[in-house]
Structure 1
Amino acid sequence: MNENNQVRFGVIGTNWITEAFIRAASEIPEFKLTAVYSRTKKKGKEFAEKYNQVQVFTEVSEMAKSSDVDAVYIASPNSFHSDQGCLVMEQGKHVICEKPMASNVREMKKLIESAQKNNVVLMEGIKSTHQPNFQIIIDHLHKVGTVRRYFSSYCQYSSRYDSYKEGVILNAFDPAFSNGSLMDIGIYGIYPAIVLFGEPNQVSATGVMLTSGVDGQGSLLLKYNELECVIMHSKIANSFIPSEIQGEKGSMIINNIHDPKDILIRFNDGTEEQIQVPQEQLAMYYEAAEFIRLIKTGESESSINSHKSSLITAKVMEEARKQVGVRFPADHQS
């Protein structure tokens, strides 16, 4: 940290999600952007010009060694997350990595082991579980009684699918980058279920395979002792229905599981209670604030986006991929 007690960040990736993270994190006084990595100097300089006094690196290893970097936000393609994360943590840097943090369980374990070995913070960048209304869900869940079903729907037609249908396979539909609907969209339904209910006893999954080798959409059923979680995801069709947590006393209706802003409990007797709170900051502000808090307090991991939650989610997604038939090059690496 610098003399102003700020956490100095390097970023890996120069896409829109990186800009969104920087914009949100810049609202936190303890955040300072000091470095950017890009594969090309030209693109890195173009990105850095938007910000003040930002160094440009074309080698992750060089940025990881920089004495001007305390933490790194990783927003590269999914298949690069594990190697880049471990490389950065080996130099004593803290890591917040875009979801999914790893291609598979093996990579997730490698990341967690590296974080523990190097005594740094590692957190998966799932924005929704740190937003104020996810805590509202946790705080009010008892009101619906014994939970019997969690249902989440996040189906968003991808603009990149138009290119795919024209024969251009972009990263979003390329198995080489550990992508597809489950990895990109499905995780938004899976991760909250794991945080709320823990590891399921059984995973059942179906999906629609695309000729590129990734899933275009799919459904999961997570079976627990007393409840089931039904998760729908798609990058080739839209859905406009809300998500829901059904209990014996009522149902909690959530407008968007990936960005919860409107939450209504409808009780069995017909009464209703609106329970959401205003979200005053940008969506990614809250995950950035939690990550910075962990660094400054010396805690090793988040209690919400914990290593355990990330590992269980990776297990669920790997099992789902096996059942659907999605294989990544990363799965065959030793």
Structure 2
Amino acid sequence: MKIGIAGSGMIVRYVLENVWNEVGNIEAKAIWCRDAERDVAENIAGDYSIKDIYEDYDEFLKDNSFDFVYIGLVNSLHYEYSLKAIKAGKSVICEKPFTSTAKQAKELLDAARENHVYVFESILPWYSDNYDEIKNRLPEVGDIKLIQCNFSQYSRRYAGYLNGTVLPVFNPLLDGGALYDIGVYSIHWVMGLAGVPEKTAYFPNIGYNGIDTSGILVMDYGSFKAVCTSAKDSASPGCCMVQGDKGCIVMHSHPGECHKIELTLNGADPVCLDKAPLGEPFVNVYERILPIVEKDEYDVCYAMMDKVIEVMQVMEDARKGAGIKFSCD
């Protein structure tokens, strides 16, 4: 897989250092950046032997040395830059959240189908062997009653935010906030098991500029309920639980990691469900994507992205229902 990188933020360097080097069979051939970020992009290119640096995105997309574009930009740019890449005949791997609205997500998938290219969201739970095992063993807990997910991570940018420095994660104009930054993991985790809820309601703590710094999403499935807690203004240990009338599954990690999983049936001792060590969770994403691409399994890719559209719809409905406005609204 030959990749061109769109962006020069911290996530780009992280993926280059900790993921692509470990996976193998992935080459970063070019990087696009804004004019003001040229120095940063040059440092990245030098550190990871990336040959070409572009400041013109259209020229970047004309480069035939790569066939995939990795979108590592702020949330508000995911749709625009992914769509341009797809229309240029490039496949796309986009960081989470895939888009800011369900309509945007559908347009990207429709464009991928039309141009016969791949499009993936880099979302951790769905690419995990351990998460697959949770799905396989889920019927053993009986009729589900409750699902709970917590991903609360105090942001090192929060103190600055309180003092008036608004970086992307706390900027509604850049489609930030707790729900879209880390809540997306919990929602994917729940919906990968339970599908689309009948109703949702988001109860956020709103900051001075209208962004959610933390919040609780309630997902009503009729016969059972799910609750997703997300926070950038406070922290607590991550945990996910599924409770049924015959037992429970407890994952002693946040929904992006998927490890330390136990199945406990009523009256029985806990059984470990981990099928693989934690390792680097992002590696799982590419180890799943590569075989799909190598086998030309476009239908597998598109089926996954149909599910992503459903997640984006739930997130959009939750956000708008709570009165949180993005640049795309």
Task: Output the TM-score relative to the length of structure 2.
Answer: 0.94
Shift of 1:219: 0.8
Q: Tell me the amino acid that sits aligned with residue 93 of structure 1.
A: K
Shift of 1:312: 0.9
Structure 2 partner of 1:35: 30
Worse-superposed segment, 296-305 or 93-102:
296-305
- Describe the superposition over 1:113-170 as per-residue Cα deviations: whole angstroms up to 9, x where unpaired: 1111111111111022212211121122122122221110111111100101111111
Structure 2 partner of 1:306: 304
Q: Tell me the amino acid that sits aligned with residue 99 of structure 1.
A: K
Q: Tell me the amino acid that sits aligned with residue 38 of structure 1.
A: C
Q: Tell me the amino acid that sits aligned with residue 32 of structure 1.
A: E
Number of residues of Structure 1 aligned to a counterpart in Structure 2: 325
Determine helix, strand or coil for the equivalent of 1:200. coil
1:25 matched to 2:20? The reply is yes
Which consecutive residues of structure 2, in runs of 5 or more, have no partner in the other structure? none
Conserved? CA contact 1:130–1:304, under 8 Å: no
1:192 to 185, 189, 194: 189
- Describe the superposition over 1:273-328 as per-residue Cα deviations: whole angstroms up to 9, x where unpaired: 11113326421111112222222211225469811221111111111111211001
Shift of 1:222: 1.0
The 2-side partners of 1:189 and 1:305 are apart by 20
Pairing of 1:65-214 with structure 2 (within 5 A): 65-214=62-211
Name the CA shift for 1:140/1:152 in 2 (closer, same or farther; >3 Å). Answer: same
The 2-side partners of 1:311 and 1:53 are apart by 33
Pairing of 1:255-294 with structure 2 (within 5 A): 255-256=252-253, 257-279=255-277, 281-294=279-292
CA RMSD of aligned residues (A): 1.7
Worse-superposed segment, 48-57 or 275-284:
275-284
Task: Output the TM-score relative to the length of structure 1.
Answer: 0.93
Q: Tell me the amino acid that sits aligned with residue 149 of structure 1.
A: L
Structure 2 partner of 1:4: none
Determine helix, strand or coil for the equivalent of 1:196. helix
Conserved? CA contact 1:121–1:301, under 8 Å: no
The 2-side partners of 1:126 and 1:305 are apart by 15
Conserved? CA contact 2:256–2:281, under 8 Å: no
The 2-side partners of 1:281 and 1:70 are apart by 28
Name the CA shift for 1:25/1:305 in 2 (closer, same or farther; >3 Å). Answer: farther
The 1-side partners of 2:65 and 2:49 are apart by 14
Shift of 1:28: 2.7
- Describe the superposition over 1:243-298 as per-residue Cα deviations: whole angstroms up to 9, x where unpaired: 10111111111012221110011221142111113326421111112222222211
Conserved? CA contact 2:202–2:216, under 8 Å: yes
